[in-house]
């Protein structure tokens, strides 16, 4: 009897792909996907046809549809990315049951949660463009691991390990404090993006109903121009804005562990050079010599830290 080694070998090599497996995905949608929780979240207790916008005639048309468990949920746009990057927009669901039925049968590889519109998104073509209007959407912040490539020595791109994840943990803490203490948001949902980052969904009613201008204003408040070796450092105004000072006070407790010890950033010549270029021009030469005479990243940091303390003491004397 002849054994087809090719075929015999195949099940062992292709039956299990930890990266991605469409059969597992279908089982996940059938048995594990949290439909009821998703529905509970995305309907925000606005059940049935009890909508705030009953005066809207277009809305009233959609209320006549049967089996709609939450008008608010039904008016939410979902988009699917199917196999071979086929992208479907304007999907919407009357109930968690219909949501499940569709997910199991179409097995999307990716689901995007869009805005809540004034009418069910699937009817967007049956109406004049101007009356298909996005009404609400959670505000979403996206923290991407690749943003830290400049200060990562352990991984690059989509690769993540516990050492560089520490950057994400810091970013989460800083962002969370600003959102809760400065804006008073309470309903934040932090989720792993599935690949290389974290998303924060702010679901408070105030956040959901914000205009684009308000969203930009919140983002701008959080934005701090990033200094790099080309722009020779980041100029900050002192005294620091209270939000910046709060972030600084927290981050300086993490700095040595993450940057100096875990990432060993000052062990590597390219990073040493980047660091030197971030310093004021007058201090660069002295620090370059000090760095060259040091044996380790920790020693380099200690020398910089000592030099900084001397400068700070001198500044205090002058003032």
CB of 166 to Zn ion, least distance (A): 9
Residue with smaller CB distance to Zn ion, 149 or 285: 149
Answer for the pair 69, 43: CB distance below 8 angstroms, yes or no.
Answer: yes
CB of residue 177 to Zn ion, shortest distance in Å: 24
| Min dist. Cβ of residue 162 to Zn ion (A) | 7
Q: Please, what is the minimum distance in Å from the beta carbon of residue 160 to Zn ion? A: 6
CB of 57 to Zn ion, least distance (A): 55
* 68 contacts 49 by C-beta, under 8 angstroms: yes
Q: Which of residues 132-171 bind Zn ion (CB under 5 A)?
A: 154-155, 161, 163-164
Task: Please count the residues of the chain.
Answer: 319
Nearer Cβ to Zn ion (152/208): 152
CA distance 152 to 167: 9
Residue 65 tokens read as 């549809």
* Residues 68, 64: Cα–Cα separation, whole Å: 9
Active-site residues: which are they? 77, 142, 144
CA quadruple 36, 42, 44, 47: dihedral positive or negative?
negative
User: Which CB atom, from 164 or from 287, has the smaller least distance to Zn ion?
Assistant: 164
Burial class (CB in 10 A: 0-12, 13-18, 19+), 309: exposed
Residue 295 CA to residue 267 CA, distance in Å, equals 9
C-alpha span between 200 and 191 (Å, rounded):
6
264-to-164, 272, 297, 301 alpha-carbon distances in Å: 12, 10, 6, 10
Footprint of Zn ion on residues 267-306 (CB under 5 A)?
none
Closer to Zn ion by CB, 27 or 161: give it: 161
Which CB sits closer to Zn ion, 157 or 270? 157
Per-residue contact string for residues 175-214; x = within reach of Zn ion by CB under 5 A:
----------------------------------------
Bridge-based pairing of strands 134-136 and 188-192 is unpaired
Q: What does the binding site for Zn ion look like in residue numbers (CB under 5 A)?
A: 154-155, 161, 163-164
């Amino acid at each position: 009897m002849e054994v087809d080694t090719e075929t015999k070998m195949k099940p062992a090599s292709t039956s299990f792909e930890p990266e991605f497996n469409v059969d597992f995905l279908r089982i996940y949608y059938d048995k594990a996907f949290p439909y009821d929780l998703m529905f509970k979240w995305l309907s925000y207790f606005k059940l049935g046809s009890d909508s705030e916008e009953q005066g809207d005639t277009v809305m009233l048309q959609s209320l006549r549809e049967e089996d709609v468990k939450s008008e608010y949920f039904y008016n939410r746009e979902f988009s699917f990315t199917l196999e071979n990057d086929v992208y479907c927009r304007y999907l919407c669901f009357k109930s968690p049951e219909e949501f499940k039925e569709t997910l199991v049968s179409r097995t999307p590889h990716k689901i995007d949660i869009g805005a809540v519109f004034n009418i069910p998104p699937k009817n967007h073509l049956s109406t004049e463009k101007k009356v298909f209007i996005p009404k609400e959407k959670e505000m979403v912040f996206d923290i991407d691991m690749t943003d830290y490539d400049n200060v990562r020595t352990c991984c690059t791109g989509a690769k993540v390990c516990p050492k560089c994840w520490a950057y994400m943990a810091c970013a989460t803490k800083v962002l969370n404090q600003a959102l809760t203490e400065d804006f008073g948001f309470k309903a934040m949902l932090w989720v792993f993006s599935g690949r290389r980052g974290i998303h924060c969904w702010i679901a408070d009613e105030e956040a959901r109903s914000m205009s684009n201008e308000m969203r930009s204003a919140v983002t701008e408040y959080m934005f701090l121009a990033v200094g790099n070796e080309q722009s020779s450092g980041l100029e900050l105004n002192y005294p620091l804005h209270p939000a910046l000072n709060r972030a600084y006070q927290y981050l300086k407790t993490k700095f040595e562990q993450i940057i100096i010890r875990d990432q060993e950033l000052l062990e590597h010549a390219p990073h040493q050079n980047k660091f030197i270029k971030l310093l004021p021009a007058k201090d660069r030469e002295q620090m370059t010599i000090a760095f060259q005479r040091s044996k380790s990243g920790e020693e380099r940091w200690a020398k910089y830290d000592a030099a900084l303390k001397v400068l700070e003491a001198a500044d205090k004397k002058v003032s």
